[in-house]
Amino acid sequence: MPVLASPTALWTSEHLRALRISPCHEIPLVEGAGLHHPLPGFDLWDLWPLQLADGSTAVVDGWTLWFVLSAPAGEDPEARHDIVRIRLMAERGGAWRDHGNALPDELNPGSREWAGSALYDPETGAVTLYWTASGLRGEEPRTFIQRMFETTGTLTGDATTFAIKGWTAPREIAGGPIPHYMLVTAAQGVPGFIKGFRDPAHFRDPRDGSDYLLFTGSLQDAKSDWNGCIGLLRREGEGWAVLPPLLSADGLNNEQERPHVVFHAGRYYLFWSTQRKVFAPGVPNGPNGLYGMVAESMEGPWLPLNGSGLVAGNPEEAPVQTYSWWVTHELTVHGFVDYPNSLKGNDHGDAAWRRAHFAGVPAPVFCLVLDGTRAEVAA
């Protein structure tokens, strides 16, 4: 596997010291009582759209298609990560339709399916799914092993019967020992504090047609236990070449989750999600929110948006209301509702309380305004 050289951007405590909370960088308050559940009986969280090669959101028969992490709603919503499947859903005008599990039973090489991205070719109907296989098939108990895979199927049907059929055998992405990144083989862990080798997100550079995958990673040779990074791979022939991290938060933050790039107005905008609790002790931190950087090319240099990196955070009165955001090519922002109207969320020690307060539905959509190094929530 080829290993390529490129500079790595640093996200540091100096950037966080510049953080200023203002209404234009605050996610609108979500009222939990008014939420509509599109799939009763299931928890729904991380979601990503079916995209065209240029990054725009695919529209099929008037509907956008979404891949959504899902699990039957059990006694404790925090146990959902151990039984999760990727679901195929369609959305139009705020209305959702469910089309069942995206992947057939037994195709996943792991014990459950975690987040990724999806690419669509409208001429052939081909859908390429990049996703995270967590654990190992048939394992007991469940582990936090993380591997990334890709598979291709064919989209069929219409809004009433969308399905993806004929999935190819999963192909592992960047498997085995590789430079720069820790491979996650942990048997145990606590969400928010495990290491990362997950969330593959496709991006095609409009300037030269290069295909990249970004992913949530952890630095192999780090100075700190808070060694989060955003990993980078580039398509070379039939495989993926390993590049140094696009971004390092060594010493600052443990997780930059679900990173992805949006090309807008001639610039490259990098986005990721993180939580206040995964910042290192004793350093400046920020809210649970959407963060980002901007560059004139994929090679950088990357500059933190708004000086600090914070694009949009949950409001102070509802710090855990939403999480895990995806910014589309159209600059709409999609996440899920976590614990609205709460100050504690999954840090609350009682499972019954968590079940009573967890929403597990797609969040209200908001939009961004991007202008160079400035990023704001649209009024």
Q: What is the pLDDT of residues 88-108, one digit of tens each?
A: 999 999 999 999 999 999 999
**In this structure, is residue 84 part of a structural domain?**
yes
**In this structure, is residue 3 part of a structural domain?**
no
**pLDDT recorded at residue 192:** 65
- As a whole number of angstroms, the distance between CA 260 and CA 256 comes to 10
**In this structure, is residue 4 part of a structural domain?**
no
As to burial, measured by CB atoms within 10 angstroms (0-12 exposed, 13-18 middle, 19+ buried), residue 176 is exposed
**In this structure, is residue 370 part of a structural domain?**
yes
Name the β-bridge partners of 220.
none
**In this structure, is residue 1 part of a structural domain?**
no
What's 306's DSSP letter? G
**pLDDT recorded at residue 369:** 98
Specify the 3-state DSSP secondary structure of 34.
Answer: helix
**pLDDT recorded at residue 3:** 44
Residue with tokens 């995270």: 132
- As a whole number of angstroms, the distance between CA 150 and CA 131 comes to 6
Cβ-contact 311, 375 below 8 angstroms = yes
**In this structure, is residue 327 part of a structural domain?**
yes
Structural domains counted in the chain:
1
Chain mean position to CA 133: 14
Which residue type is seen at 14?
Answer: E
**pLDDT recorded at residue 379:** 87
Residue (of 279, 351, 357, 292) closest to 321 by Cα position:
357
Specify the 3-state DSSP secondary structure of 325.
Answer: strand
**In this structure, is residue 2 part of a structural domain?**
no
**In this structure, is residue 373 part of a structural domain?**
yes
Give the range of the structural domain holding residue 143, as residue numbers without chain letter: 9-377
Rounded to two decimals, the pTM is: 0.96
- As a whole number of angstroms, the distance between CA 145 and CA 194 comes to 10
The segments of the chain whose pLDDT lies below 70 read 1-6, 187-192
CATH of the domain at 323: 2.115.10.20
Specify the 3-state DSSP secondary structure of 66.
Answer: strand
